[in-house]
Structure 1
């Protein structure tokens, strides 16, 4: 066994979109687990849009990655050394190990994985993204049969979970995705009733007309994970008592964080938003999924059997090699991935 490990660290804070020089691949001595700790050799780790916010030195719900610090990520791998009775060598485990070849954490910060399912599912469909979609829809979207749901980034791990869960509950489901291929996936793989290519619409007005045709009875639930022109297009189509769970705004992540609640420059659309919320009596709920892991066992109990039997579809976009993680992450922020973005370590 090698006595060194590799980590991808934050070399500089990005201005706009991240670039290669914002990251640095470093080699360090392999840690020795202390009492209660477990050492894992990673097989794969997750890339997620929220990581862009961690690169900014701005006030948020979580501390930023320090310069020289390891990029944050959930990972899965094999236990190779353990000082905890809860894990033995050979166990497969999940933990927030970061962009790295190995990770060492206290056992109480890790989760042993079900070896009957592919370990990668703990990063996507049965991990944080899938749980985000399930929680936002079931707890905040409050779906009812016969209603209409719209979700953007519909072929991603969050959007595809939202669409399939809503469809199973008897809703009409409308996907918004970037490109004809993703729209085809939304229809054929994830079972959406309609799919709209936002790349085919230059502005919110044009996109709104397409959405209105796909949702002739209006929109009861808009699952917000993108923002930008999609949100502008959707808002006027929301029905009275509509619900908008908000888990992300990926369209603006590369603009940098608006620390301290500052408002971006440009036209002030806030009065229109507030009036819409008032007169349509809508519920708009922002949520950070890490605050809701008490519901994770319920999610796993419902969704894991659906994944195991193939009743719930998922899609993974695999890139190999820790050194290729930065480029894959940049592509993720631009929507170039198809499915859950995962870095596989060889």
Structure 2
């Protein structure tokens, strides 16, 4: 079968892309290597066809000159494409495999020999099927339409403008053997096509999974503070806006707790910035472990954090903040650095009517300031 089948080792997704910039030298080298594989397979298929034609010739079905003529022309065509490929000619085109020209050349050769040796036309007609099937894996709809049009014209001329009978030899044992080989190789080509298509689908699926995961990771990185794992400022502000809107619409309470780690600059200066980072991470982990599943915790800036408490009135928010304050103050921070002690001050506020997020935060910030002014390590309500 003189098929134009790309081997399974070449990329399953065409390397055309949308870029018009010239390919890099590494990419050109990889493409050239894959074209060599494809052309070597094509040459091998022409030789296999020639062997089958020799069997037909041995059976007396066709002249003995048919096989070497077909093989010689096929190899000559492959040599031409190889020379163009090695010269870098193919890399000038987006479709560096030159699907349409190569397919048309194979179709023209096959239809011509179908006319020259109609007694074994079954071989050439099966070859045409495989050529078209494999070419369609890389052809665009427009390229497929071009190939189909030229093939339709050639077959129409063969079937309608000639009176030569198109045969499927099966009279002698050798003819039956050769025809059996034609069908077996055609079936093998169809199976290869199926395997190739399955591999293509799997590759596309895996690439889709990786792209989805990459997109999810990008979104996650855009929302999460890398050091603490808490929501970043933009994300926690979005959460606050959404919760305030939900509270106004449903009439349900909500509260916020604005938290500031006490004397954090002193911690950095005395114990070092790596220790400061450990403090921030441990503080965030502890907070996550002791808040409700629906509560949202984010880094508001530096050592300031914002806790959004859906469904919690101010008194419940104060109780939670006080419990968290005691937990943080009770941790053994000396494991990070001798003499280290960490506490926080907090301001609690609940929205009033249609109060905006900025106004609510301003009141929570004022309450936080009051906590600091009265000695830190305490919770104050706005």
Q: Which has the higher helix share?
A: 2
TM-score by length of 1: 0.24
By relative contact order (CA 8 Å, sep 6+), the higher-ranking structure is 1
Q: Which has the higher strand share?
A: 1
Q: Higher Cα Rg: structure 1 or 2?
A: 2
TM-score by length of 2: 0.22
